[in-house]
Each structure stands twice: as C-alpha cells, then as structure tokens.
A and B are shown apart, each in its own frame.
Chain A
Amino acid sequence: MAEQRGLGAAHAGMFPNLRRDVAFPVVGVGLLFGAFIAVGLLYQSLFSGAAERLVTIALIDAIIVLGIQIYVGNTGVLSFGHIGFGAIAGYTFAIFAIAPAEKAKRIPDAPFGLTNVDVGSWAAVAIAVAVTVVVAVFVGIGLARSGAESGAVAATVITLALLFVTHEVARHWPEMTGGERAGLSFRIGGALDTRVPIYLALAGALVLARLFAQSRRGRLAKAGREDDLAARAMGVNPMVQQMIALLISVVVVSIGASLRVYETGSILPENFFFNYTLLTLAMLIVGGRNSVTGALFGVAVMTVGRELARRLGQDGFEVFGLGLDSAPLDWIFRENLQTVFFGVAMLGFMIWRPKGLLSDWEFDDWLYRRFTRTQSPPEVPEASMDSEQDARLEVDNVSVVFGGFQALSQSGVEVSSGEVVGIIGPNGAGKTTLLNIITGIITPSSGQVRLNGTDLVGTPSHEIARAGLVRTFQNLRLFGSLTVRENVQVTRLVAIAEHDDRSTPETDVLVAAAGLWDQRDRRAGELDYGNSRRLELARAAAARPLFLLLDEPTSGMSDTESLAMVEQVQTMAALVGAGVVVIDHDLDFITGICDRIYCLDRGSVIAVGTPDEIQADPAVQAAYLGSSAS
C-alpha cells in the first residue's frame, strides 16, 4: 500500500507505483508485442507472396498509430496533423538518407547543398526526428494558445491546417521534395532489407506509449482530457501536459514515418496525406483510442478488414477460394473498395461505439488485477503530520458584474487555518460566484483575493490551486473515466511536486478516509450521487490545500447523508490540515460544522457571526424566509 516503498522521490515523482506503473506495463506490452508478431508471422507463412509485405506494412502502421495514440489518447484532442508531422519526418529522412547519386537525378539543385549530403540512414532518422520535433514545438504553442481560448475544436483545425501546409509545400517545392509526381526515391524496390529496425521501433513505441500513460505527466494529461476546468482547479495545467504528450508522440511518429519511407523506398506527397490520415485514425478509433492495447488491436483488425475489402473488390465473393456466384453484387464490390471501408468503419464506430472495441481496457492492467491480492484498507490517521499550517485567506471588497447584473458588490470574507467558515444565502446571492472568483475562474472587476497577503486576482486557476486553494464542484466535475483511486491520485501527484512528499497522505489513505475503499477501482462516472460528492471532497483534499473550498457538498443528499458529511469534511480537513470554506443551503449542515458564517444576499454580505448569532439575525431570516421581519 505504501506507494513508494523505500524508493527515491524522483521515481515516485515520475511513476506513482513502480510495480503497477512500470513492471506490469513492460511485461504486458512485451506479451502483446510477441502476440502481434506471432500472428503476423503465422499469416505470412499461411499466405505467401504479398502477405509478407502486408505484415511489414501493418508493423509500420502500428508504430505510427501508437505515436498518434500517445497524443490523442492521453489529451483527448483530435489531431489530423500527425501524418503532416510524418510527412515532414519522411521528407527530411529521404533528403538525408538517399545517396547523392540518386538525389542528383531528382533534386540536383536542392537548397543548402543538400544534394551532396551523405549521412547514412540512421543519422538521417535522428535528423528527421529533430527537425520534426522543432516544428512540433511551434505547432504545440499554437495548439496550446488556441485550445485555451476556443477549446479542442480550434486545436483540431490547426492540426488539419498543418496537414495541408506540409502537403502544399511538398507539392510545390520540387527543388527539395521532387514535386508531386516524381518524389524522392532510393533504389527501385525498397531499401530496407531487414525487419529488425521495425521490430525494435515497434517495441519501443509500445513501451513508451504505455509508460507515458502511467507516468505522472500522462496522468495529469488524462485529467485534462476528462475535464479541462476541473483539472485546472486541481492545479494541473493541461497545456503543459499536452505539449509534452505532443513531443513524445511526434518522436514516435517521426521514426515510424522514416521507416515507412525506407521500407517503400520512395516518398510522394500523397503518401502522407488524407488517405493515410484516415487509415491511421480509423485504426486508432476502431481499436479504442484511450488504450495502447486498443490501438494495436485496431491496427490488426483494420489490416485484416482492409485486406478482405481489397479482395472483395478484386474478386467479388471469391475470397480465399470460396466461390460464390456474385454477379449481381459485382457492381457493389469493385476495386478500391477498401477506401469506402475505412470511411464507413470510422463513421459506424463514431455513431455506434465511439470509444472503440476495447475502450480504455489495457492488457497489463488486467494482468495486474489478476495477479495482485486484494488489499485491506489502510488505517486512517487522525490528523496529518504537520497540521499546524498557518494561513490566512482574505477576500476583500470584490465586485463583479455579469452583463449589467451586479452579481457581487464589495463583498469580503476572511478565513484562518483551522477554521471552518460557512457562506449561506438564497439562490442567486452570489455564493458560487464568490468561489469562482477565489479560484480564478472569474476575474472580479474590483477587489482583492489575498492568500497570506499575496493578491491572487489575475493568477491562472492552476496556480491558485497550487498556492493552496482547492475546490469542489456543485455540479460534480469528476474525471469520469478514471477510477476513484486515479481521481485522487492525480491531485496528489500535483501536491507531491509542490510540497514535501511525506506530508501528503497516501492515495489509499485518502480513498479510505472518504469511505470509498470498496469503490476504489470503479470509474468515477459510475458512482452514485453521494459517493461522487465524497470523491469530490477526497480529490480536493489530496492536493493538501491550505483551504478546502466546498461548493454545496450536501446538495442532493438525504438528511442522514448530510450529517455524515459533517464528519467527513472534518476528517478530511484534519487529515490534510486545511481550513475550510463551505457553501451550502442546508442550515443544519452549515450550523453543525461551521465556526463562523457569512450570509450573502443579492451580492452583498448582510451578516457575519457564529451559527447562533446568524440564526437569530433578523436580516438573515428576512433573506431566507422572504419575510419583512426587519
């Protein structure tokens, strides 16, 4: 259960649990790799001739699809641009790897004297990777900026634009690329004599893809994939994770693309354009984009499907010697059937099974659960090792206007460590707005939010979270397809990087403290309402914040559940040593848990005091009951 048994913090920082996140994935992908190759070799020995090349192509496709999976699967951003990166890598590789004598025929006047450059194939791969990564850095900056403003859709269009730019340049820069018709080529009939480099690259791609998904960075990226806003509120900056995922995936795609060019022996603009984009994306989608196992499975399934479609198109129904009279169908099953096949497969899966055949199932994850004994829940300590944090949160005179509506006017709240402060008020009083201001989701038109004297207004959400203000969401924004444990772990990983490792409670302790031990391996999206609320609390607490900001933690709960929540909040706050600011409607809950209460009405603070004082306050009664008692 201890997450880093005697291992250095560096390991713990990169991989939460070496057995689960490194050992099992490596063994798992090793077995997958073996199975994939075995199926390929078996097929090859059964159907000789063209089968060998079919398998070679599938192996290379697998490398490129895995490269795309690293980005698309972990960040959730759809990229049409990876084949564009492939084109850049492919051409760079060809220009550097082809012998000067061959180049003199096609591109005698290449700029920078590239015609006479002769570096050998393996150096050419390295150069191709380097050049493509440099381009990817610039594309990544554009993606991050537009993605932050306009969401994933804008990012996708940028990747599409990249695909077109590379295609345009490849077509219209014949001095460098050999142009649209001739292209660049090695000697006739392919240049790669052995499959060893392909095997090595595929094994490497598999290991890299799996390890990245399990690494700290990969987990943070997945949090952003699940819910960008919630990830930011937990201290994750999805843009940084997306950039890292992009660069790693581009390295893999570049190597795959170089091998593809080397194996084919030539490159044309068409080789790395729309059709190949469709083919690779369809493989990824059909198999399951959020899973490495799925990506590999998708390559296998679609390769078989394509081959069947091709034969159907060529021979009608006489596939594999099965002769059927198919004359009426000949009109439908004709040559090039495989192009329709890929489009229809993609469309069909998007409509009926958008998560693909395997969804996010991982072979090594299954192995891990198979070969790991059930654990008993860890003991939950009373309080954290250093709960004597001394912090002060001051919200001073903040105002905000939404299109003419004064949501908050000159409101202020002060909280110190060890305190539990409640904010009550009728609907529309501005409670959630206040929380949104504190956590940087809304910028106030005036006023300050100070944490230990530092003004946080204008600071990005994820930095505010790291500074120690972490919230829950009234409308539940869990990382739905991650497990309960992973939800808590993500925030904890941020906390570990930010604070001293030891003082942040273990993931399992937090899960147990939230009463979710039995549910720990379920997806957060499958939890019932009460458990989802408890997980929201545990996830926020895992950041080990100075202040926990709870937005209606009992909303939708029964009276008994609400009462249990009082204890839960107190346990969690004590465990991580955090002060609490809680918003709620439920007066019993609020008075049961709070030391002090602020009452908001129509954007202004109308009363402050102990629970008893607040309950007796006539202005509060008026606001709540709508009576004209005052």
Chain B
Amino acid sequence: MTELLQNLIDGLGRGSIYALLALGVAVIFGVMHLLNFAHGELITVSGYVAFWTISEGWSWYLVTPIIIGTAIVTSLVIERVAFSRVRGSSDFTLLLTSFGVHFVVSAIFLLYVSASVKTFSRPRWVTNTYSIGSLHIEVFDTVVIGVTLVTLLATSWLVQRTMFGLALRAAAADFDTARLMGVRSDTVIRGAFALSGLLAGIAGVFWLMRAGNTVPSAGIAPMLKGVLAALIGGLGSLRGAVLGGFVLGLAEVLLRSRLPDSVASLTEGFVFLLIALLFIFRPQGLIRVAHAERV
C-alpha cells in the first residue's frame, strides 16, 4: 500500500512534466492539425541557454524566466520560419516539416556548438526529500506538481474564459468556419505557438533542473513523451493530453518499480508495448474527439 502510494506520488511528479509537454502538442494540433515533432527542440534550445547562463554563474531564479522566454521565442520563430509556410498542407507534409525542423535544430547545435554533453549545476534542493510517515517525497516533485496544477488551472481559464481561448476552441473545432466567422488565423496560430512555447518552457525548466545537462539530441525524449501522451489522451483533446501525460508518467513509474531487475532497463520498451496495446483496443485514445468531415 505504501509502495503504491509512493509510486503514485512519483508518477504524478513525472506525469506533470509530460502533461505540460502534451498540452503544448495538443494546442498546436488543435489549430493547425500539425503533430509537432519539433516540440522537444524548444527544450534543446532552452537547455543550451541554461548551460551558457548558468556556467556564467547566474542563479536558477534568474535563469528560469529566461528559459521560459527562450522557449516562447523559439516556438514563435519556428512557426514563422517553417510552419507558417505549410499551413493547410496535407498531414504528410506537416509531419515531415516538423520532423525536418527537429533535425535542423539539433544538427545546428551538433555542428556549431558541440556533440559532447554540456553539464550545468542543478539547484541544490532538487535532490532533497522529506518524509510523511513512511513516504519519501522529493521537494522537486512537490514543486513540479504544484506549479503544474497552477499552470493547468491558468491554461484552463485562458481557454474557457477569454476571447483568445474561444478563438482557439473555435479554430480547433472547425478552422475554416472559424475564419469565416472572423477569427484571425494568424493571431490564433501565433497565440497557440506562444502558449505551446510557454508550456514547454515551464516543463523545460523542470526537465533541465532534473537532467543537469544537454546534448544536441536532448529534444528527442521530451518530444516523444509529449507526442505519445497527446496521442494516448486522444489527439486534439486538451483534456485528453493532460490525462495522457499523467497516465504515461504513472505507467512508467509503476513499470519501473514492478518489473524484475533483469528487465528493468527495458522499461521504456514495455511502456511502448502497453501503448501499442492501448491503441489496438482503444484506437481513438482515452478521450474521443469527434472528427467532423463533411460529405
């Protein structure tokens, strides 16, 4: 029982970061039907910014807003340079464009920075734990869960209660009609990329605090978590993406702690296997989104 509770808390911590990443992926999928394989590159870029600033001796309190700002700006730049040019293209083109962006960004760091791992110091409190009864809880997880909850509530308010949110939902439901109704596509799409960047930035801060290093290919892992979580939840559903993130985090923690030692290193493989099974039995993901197609 205690172990299960422990897993639950660990899973929530891990799942929070995934949920933020997945939400960023889902927001963009909603407005332009683009599954963003370049989403992790926001963290790659942020990672190098963190490396450069922290090795200059800047404190994490200062670096945190810089990382978030970097992610937002990078997201908007990528939209401007690449995605704005393929709006309305086929799924095939959109997917490969984001794949291409992923490669170009990581290759630029590989070429013009370095292929080697760049490490930077992590805040001291990241590894601290405290105990409640027999539970050992990381200070880090507590902060992550708290910040994520606040972020999700704020995002929910933004999407449900503001004009921008209304435009975002309208565009997600039916982009062409939303445009006819006067929703400005540029504004909505850029807003979505900014929001996606903000969410990735917050997730990125936590990701980098935990990792304490970066490499040119650092974006692959967060991208994969975000994309898979969004898919588990049901592509296009914001709520589903958040749910998918938590489910993925919990599944990873549970598998890692329950699998026998001999195969524990294959946890990721088993997670993928579970996801594959999920898709065979529930191909629409956890939350079904109606895909309106006019016939």
Binding site for B on A (CB under 8 A): 76, 78, 80, 138-139, 141-142, 145-146, 148-154, 156-158, 160-162, 164-165, 168-169, 172-173, 229, 274, 278, 281, 285, 334-337, 339-340, 342-344, 346-347, 350-351, 354, 432, 436, 441, 473-475
Q: In the complex, which residue of chain B has the Cβ closest to the Cβ of A342?
A: B103
A-B contacts besides A78-B92, A274-B220, A339-B103, 6 pairs, CB < 8 Å: A150-B234, A152-B91, A157-B231, A164-B272, A347-B82, A351-B86
Set of chain B residues within 8 Å of A285, measured between Cβ atoms: 96
- Indicate which residue in A78, A165, A274, A340 contacts B104 across the interface (CB closer than 8 Å): A340
Contact A146 B104 (CB under 8 A): no
Chain B CB within 10 Å — which of A78, A152, A169, A441 has the most? A78
Set of chain B residues within 8 Å of A473, measured between Cβ atoms: 295
Chain B: minimal CB distance from A38 (Å): 31
- Indicate which residue in B33, B95, B100, B291 contacts A347 across the interface (CB closer than 8 Å): B100
Contact B293 A350 (CB under 8 A): no
**Interface assignment of B126: CB less than 8 Å from any CB of chain A:** no
Q: How many residues of B contact A (CB 8 A)?
A: 51
Contact A340 B294 (CB under 8 A): no
Contact B279 A142 (CB under 8 A): yes
**Interface assignment of B26: CB less than 8 Å from any CB of chain A:** no
- Indicate which residue in A76, A151, A162, A436 contacts B291 across the interface (CB closer than 8 Å): A151
- Indicate which residue in B91, B112, B283 contacts A153 across the interface (CB closer than 8 Å): B91
Q: In the bound complex, how far is the Cα of B195 from the Cα of A438, in angstroms?
A: 44
Chain B: minimal CB distance from A225 (Å): 10
Contact B269 A157 (CB under 8 A): no
Contact B276 A161 (CB under 8 A): yes
**Interface assignment of B192: CB less than 8 Å from any CB of chain A:** no
Q: In the bound complex, how far is the Cα of B289 from the Cα of A151, in angstroms?
A: 12
Q: In the bound complex, how far is the Cα of B64 from the Cα of A93, in angstroms?
A: 49
**Interface assignment of B257: CB less than 8 Å from any CB of chain A:** no
- Chain B, 261-295, CB within 8 A of any chain A CB: 265-266, 268-269, 272-273, 275-276, 279-280, 283-285, 291, 293-295
Set of chain B residues within 8 Å of A335, measured between Cβ atoms: 111
Contact A168 B295 (CB under 8 A): no
Contact A168 B266 (CB under 8 A): yes
Chain A: minimal CB distance from B270 (Å): 9
Contact B35 A229 (CB under 8 A): no
Q: In the bound complex, how far is the Cα of B288 from the Cα of A149, in angstroms?
A: 10
- Indicate which residue in B95, B107, B266, B275 contacts A156 across the interface (CB closer than 8 Å): B95
Contact B111 A158 (CB under 8 A): no
Contact A172 B279 (CB under 8 A): no
Set of chain A residues within 8 Å of B91, measured between Cβ atoms: 78, 151-153, 156
Contact B269 A172 (CB under 8 A): yes
Q: In the bound complex, how far is the Cα of B284 from the Cα of A135, in angstroms?
A: 22
**Interface assignment of B163: CB less than 8 Å from any CB of chain A:** no
- Indicate which residue in A149, A173, A278, A350 contacts B283 across the interface (CB closer than 8 Å): A149
Q: In the complex, which residue of chain A has the Cβ closest to the Cβ of B231?
A: A157
Q: In the complex, which residue of chain A has the Cβ closest to the Cβ of B97?
A: A350
Q: In the complex, which residue of chain A has the Cβ closest to the Cβ of B29?
A: A153
Contact B100 A346 (CB under 8 A): yes
Q: In the bound complex, how far is the Cα of B96 from the Cα of A436, in angstroms?
A: 34
CB-CB nearest 9 A-B residue pairs: A343-B103, A347-B100, A149-B283, A343-B104, A172-B265, A346-B100, A146-B283, A340-B107, A165-B272
The answer to whether A343 and B107 touch (CB under 8 A), given A156-B95, A350-B96, is yes
Contact B110 A346 (CB under 8 A): no
Contact A350 B86 (CB under 8 A): yes
The answer to whether A157 and B228 touch (CB under 8 A), given A350-B97, A351-B97, is yes
Chain A: minimal CB distance from B227 (Å): 6
Contact B285 A172 (CB under 8 A): no
22 contacts between A and B (CB under 8 A): A139-B276, A142-B276, A142-B279, A148-B283, A150-B291, A152-B91, A153-B35, A154-B279, A156-B35, A157-B227, A161-B275, A161-B276, A165-B272, A173-B266, A281-B96, A339-B107, A340-B107, A347-B82, A347-B101, A347-B103, A354-B86, A354-B96
Q: In the bound complex, how far is the Cα of B275 from the Cα of A351, in angstroms?
A: 32
Q: In the bound complex, how far is the Cα of B266 from the Cα of A474, in angstroms?
A: 52
- Indicate which residue in B227, B272, B294 contacts A168 across the interface (CB closer than 8 Å): B272
Q: In the bound complex, how far is the Cα of B285 from the Cα of A158, in angstroms?
A: 12
Contact A475 B279 (CB under 8 A): no
Contact A346 B280 (CB under 8 A): no
Contact B97 A145 (CB under 8 A): no
Q: In the bound complex, how far is the Cα of B35 from the Cα of A158, in angstroms?
A: 13
Q: In the bound complex, how far is the Cα of B266 from the Cα of A138, in angstroms?
A: 20
Chain A: minimal CB distance from B238 (Å): 16
Set of chain B residues within 8 Å of A474, measured between Cβ atoms: 295
Q: In the complex, which residue of chain B has the Cβ closest to the Cβ of A161?
A: B272
Q: In the bound complex, how far is the Cα of B123 from the Cα of A106, in angstroms?
A: 41
- Chain B, 58-77, CB within 8 A of any chain A CB: none
**Interface assignment of B170: CB less than 8 Å from any CB of chain A:** no
